[in-house]
Structure 1
């Protein structure tokens, strides 16, 4: 035993120092002290000396900087430079754009939770709340989505005028330019409420406040451009759109074939230097009604009018609608979500250089401008649209499941329906937390490139799952279109959000981990930048610092992964209360796992990793679920740790943990270098995969929250349009829930008496009358049951039409679209 004692002591010191990330100098001093102590305590002298020699041979060359740089760093720098994967200009811009927030902590293997929990809770100002309670509520009451989608194929003229008058298109424009100057959080809340009424309405309002001329001008426009266009955009005199996507350049936007040639031409009666544009764009939202078109194209200067450079790269311009040579007006028809969308074509369209966004100073910077603004748009518009639609579906499907009865029971009591309700509740809780987190990041001044991709992908995917489950529960009620259907159009629109601003397949398999592995990693980007430093002295110094910081980081994550896996994440410092502390510990483990897997993948696969899209997608899933779970915990803390929300938090968190372990298992089972995969499995899953999907018992508690009024249910529904009115059948069903629950005891009493009686009445009114005569129910209870029948009928009824009416509506829609074209 005395022989093994110094070995065990040294291993323990290695583990402790690696776990806590002590510096090499601290480790060497602590290890030496421990070896001296065990030697004095009677450990075998020879074994102790051997351990001391090994310690010295390992640490001394590393602690002497000139020696370390000469013997180790220099050859490694040469090797690293050779294997460093080449980055395209597109990738370089994407990596350099945006900022890193808490997602960087999740990649650290040791998240500093106080960074997250100290962030202020997002709140609305009094002015923002008044806008939501006033104009937003009013336009929701005005909107008839059936008329919009089936009859007009457009918003009603009075709605167009209303949103212009109340500056819905100017939410992000500062007050100094006549806009509302709202926060990102307020912008998100407005879109969320509009989306709960009509996808057409929310898209129409969302696009001018997302990626487009308004946002680009705010960040990059010249003073003249801002002073002229922003007031006009704010009050609706100008309707903007932005042309990026073309027939041959979708997700690969930097390969756009659209081009502009620098030349001289006529503009407003004067001969000026400008650009002659030729372009072909499609899928452009608001294009058919736009008056000012933002355009991305590649700028060439063959005659050298701007200097010796011929290819200036992607550049952005503002094209007024009436500019000669531009063809605009026809419409696409996106899955019955009839927001204005269409192609734009241009041949020999001449613009002066003053119409380039940012003027001559921003020539060639178009892709960077787009990437930076796109991260902000992705953080708000699509997540809040998904949240609004899902919140409405969650609470109304819960109410419908309580009201709708089959076999004498509310359908929500059947376990199959209960399972779907639990998914709806948990996914809605998760996506609304994620949507709130990314909007709050924008308000803190961040440009959340990686979180925005996470939010775009996962919110739209979860919204599709919520829509699917809601449709399944509603059955024919969701299938039969008409004024009483509040789900059908949302179900049809689900693929639209998944497709726009980067298809979800690309977002998951290329963007989330592809950007996150470099942008969020504490050492990788620094190493890349150091290796490319033209100063050889600084290059060696900086690479040395970052390289050995990275090595220590990797060792620490290996130790932390193994320790947390071995103890099932039950040990370790963590914030939170007695209920959530276990969740933080799990995320500490998964953070170390992610850092370890990412480091190993990048080291062993190198540049090939970006072509291993399945592995990259799974690693992205781990990062995404870590960020999602963190957002849920932040929401729970911001809400004051409400005990009533614990079933929703627990379901969503266990779902995320289960998905994390499935994704990591998928990485290791498919890792191409098998010995490395076996070793990683022992470090990541030393006692096997432990996380399980949410239990049936937990699902029952989550589902029950949707079927009964409570403060947790109210918080889940907060911010969507639930006012019961003629145009809002969903609001009427939700409002009926409380009355239905109050009538349930009377209904059970009446049905039991009816079953045990021998009365011959067959119709419900006659049965009620007989019940009063027999004394089963009182006259007041009879009135209560009559109201219950009316509420139930309103909830379950669907529309029917005369064939001629449907034909007439179709013809009217065709004529309307023809006139619009």
Structure 2
């Protein structure tokens, strides 16, 4: 269990105040519009809430990783699942790839601007015909002199509409499978790079999610991330951080679901008394709290393991599957306490419910997570 840290709690309070002042008054409008404005990223950067665990030489605070993950968790707890996912994709996924794999010139070029919000990061893995099966991707980047010529497409890309930088997985050797995958740092302003329309989803409405298209995009050779042909290994190396961040969203959402449910059952009257007096209500809330504590215990253990460099792929997969299954279960059970009102979008519990569903899909489906865990048990 992470020890109490007064500096972290002060940082948490500051972020909660930022959410109350800058996000809460506008979030419903953004959800209806289907997109958060670009200015949100500028505000996050100006207030020091992006990539906070990056070393100081790249503009970050150099704080422990759990400071950064806290921002993901608190966004989700406040009911802002789209913001949680957006920050996670930028700070917990895209930035660590650059920090851990990029050369010094690439780090100096991209990371300070990701801290300020000048550059928004995304990760480009999923394709229309290749979801969790990353080895089947078809997007190619063929070396031609000083450039890679990039062709293909990606789909379901979080932060896709606003992205200035995409950490992109592509086949630099189309004849190979895993050994043919490389990672490129792709500037979205290059000729031939096209962003599709913002995709319409059942949840996370204001979190921009896009298709990306590449038509003979010339990516400078010096924007290869790491070594050619090592992309799949890099993905496996960095996925534990992504899956831990997904768990942070899950834990925050579980806690947020409980917050809104407790407020509702204490206020709602039925048969002459608050519905919090009924045994079923109390048992449902008690089980939600038990599930929250179990999720938190597993999550905090994994965060400590990650920061100690001891987080393995199997444990990260188990955490992702367990926490997101719990998130869905808790949201569903608590929504039932609201009766018909739980199905109305004006009640926050409905958003916790629909936003939870994607968590069991992205970052690798929970079925794939179980396969990873099984391989760890069986050795194959």
Query: Could you tell me how far apart the structure 1 residues matched to 2:177 and 2:97 are?
Result: 25
Query: Could you tell me how far apart the structure 2 residues matched to 1:169 and 1:153 are?
Result: 22
Query: Could you tell me how far apart the structure 1 residues matched to 2:66 and 2:174 are?
Result: 42
Q: Which residue of 2 aligns with 1:503?
A: 365
Q: Secondary structure at the match of 2:35?
A: coil
Q: Which residue of 2 aligns with 1:375?
A: 240
Q: Which residue of 2 aligns with 1:210?
A: 92
Please point out which of 111, 114, 123 is paired with 2:3. Answer: 123
Query: Could you tell me how far apart the structure 2 residues matched to 1:323 and 1:158 are?
Result: 22
Q: Which residue of 2 aligns with 1:245?
A: 126
Query: Could you tell me how far apart the structure 1 residues matched to 2:256 and 2:217 are?
Result: 45
Q: Secondary structure at the match of 1:343?
A: strand
Structure 1 residues 408, 310: CA separation in 2 closer, same or farther (over 3 Å shift)?
Answer: closer
Normalised by the length of structure 1, the TM-score is: 0.44
Query: Could you tell me how far apart the structure 1 residues matched to 2:178 and 2:291 are?
Result: 47
Q: Which residue of 1 aligns with 2:22?
A: 142
Alpha-carbon distance, 1:329 to partner: 4.5
Q: Which residue of 2 aligns with 1:315?
A: 182
Number of residue-to-residue matches in the alignment: 376
1:63-84: per-residue Cα shift (whole Å, max 9, x none)? xxxxxxxxxxxxxxxxxxxxxx
Whose Rg is larger? 1
CA RMSD of aligned residues (A): 2.2
Query: Could you tell me how far apart the structure 2 residues matched to 1:490 and 1:471 are?
Result: 9
Alpha-carbon distance, 1:501 to partner: 0.8
Query: Could you tell me how far apart the structure 1 residues matched to 2:15 and 2:271 are?
Result: 44
1:310-363: per-residue Cα shift (whole Å, max 9, x none)? 9961100011111111111421122141201101110211222201012xxx11
Query: Could you tell me how far apart the structure 2 residues matched to 1:460 and 1:252 are?
Result: 20
Query: Could you tell me how far apart the structure 2 residues matched to 1:311 and 1:467 are?
Result: 37
Q: Which residue of 2 aligns with 1:30?
A: none
Alpha-carbon distance, 1:478 to partner: 1.9
Query: Could you tell me how far apart the structure 2 residues matched to 1:463 and 1:479 are?
Result: 17
Structure 1 residues 416, 364: CA separation in 2 closer, same or farther (over 3 Å shift)?
Answer: same
Query: Could you tell me how far apart the structure 2 residues matched to 1:393 and 1:463 are?
Result: 9
Is this contact kept in 2: 1:184–1:440, CA < 8 A?
no
Query: Could you tell me how far apart the structure 2 residues matched to 1:208 and 1:453 are?
Result: 20
Q: Which aligned pairs between 1:406-445 and structure 2 lie closer than 5 A? A: 406-445=270-309
Structure 1 residues 161, 217: CA separation in 2 closer, same or farther (over 3 Å shift)?
Answer: closer
Q: Which aligned pairs between 1:64-83 and structure 2 lie closer than 5 A? A: none
Normalised by the length of structure 2, the TM-score is: 0.92
Query: Could you tell me how far apart the structure 2 residues matched to 1:382 and 1:176 are?
Result: 27
Q: Which residue of 2 aligns with 1:333?
A: 200
Q: Which residue of 1 aligns with 2:151?
A: 278
Structure 1: 5+ residue runs without aligned partners? 1-120, 265-272, 303-308, 519-609, 611-821
Please point out which of 325, 331, 353 is paired with 1:491. Answer: 353
Q: Which residue of 1 aligns with 2:49?
A: 168
| 1:356 is aligned to 2:224 | yes
1:557-596: per-residue Cα shift (whole Å, max 9, x none)? xxxxxxxxxxxxxxxxxxxxxxxxxxxxxxxxxxxxxxxx
Query: Could you tell me how far apart the structure 2 residues matched to 1:276 and 1:157 are?
Result: 29
Name whichever structure is richer in helix by fraction.
1
Name whichever structure is richer in strand by fraction.
2
Q: Which aligned pairs between 1:158-307 and structure 2 lie closer than 5 A? A: 159-197=40-78, 198-212=80-94, 214-264=95-145, 273-300=146-173
Query: Could you tell me how far apart the structure 2 residues matched to 1:465 and 1:253 are?
Result: 28
Q: Which residue of 1 aligns with 2:318?
A: 454
Alpha-carbon distance, 1:130 to partner: 2.7
Q: Which aligned pairs between 1:686-765 and structure 2 lie closer than 5 A? A: none
